[in-house]
A = this chain, B = another copy of it.
Amino acid sequence: MASWKPLLQAAMDSHAHLKHSSFIQLATLGTSGRPANRTVVFRGFPDASDRIQIHTDSRSCKIEEIKHCPFGEICWYFTESWEQFRINGRIEIIDNSNSDAVKIQQREKAWHSISHKSKLQYLVPPPRLPYTEEPSKDYQLDPSAGPVDAFSVLILDPDQVDYVNLKSNVRWIFTSRMGDSGKIWMHEKVNP
């Protein structure tokens, strides 16, 4: 386990009563070369790894941005404990074009883990296109069916985690390197 993960888990546990505590800000590099930033929902650590799972609409700008530059930084601020995690890493997209059996299964599992209401968001007209008033549609969705085309999973694989606790005034930088048997994490206490 990555040495920063117990810190993050503890912060999540102590904020479990707050719905917004699973909302994180994901920065990517926009296709114009400018930084982009938006709130997304943390959807867990797949396979008990230290990777971060997020769901998104394949038609959203971030998909194109990540294809262009696969790196991102999550900023996760916990409002009651005053802790911030900045999680930097490479993002993998698992969309409907993926042919890897494990990835297909991962996307299907993710689809079945979300609510019916969340699923319906992937059926509505494409995000950011001009809004046109139209008779409200009754979108049908078979609960047993697999993911719709617009449903994508993002997996951020962290390389570096910058942790700050503004109450205790403590800051740790966690960095990783690839060892013979996987990722190895090191950490250093730095000035806040």
Contacts and interface: CB of A to CB of B under 8 A. Distances in A.
A127 interface: yes
Nearest to A125: B191
Interface in A23-78: 23, 25-30, 33-39, 69, 71-75, 77
Contacts of A14: none
A34 B162 CA distance: 15
Report copies per complex: 2
A126 interface: yes
Contact of A86 (B37, B129, B171): B37
A128 B27 contact: no
B86 A128 contact: no
Contact of A39 (B75, B88, B131, B188): B75
Contacts of A126: 191
Contacts of A183: none
A55 B61 CA distance: 30
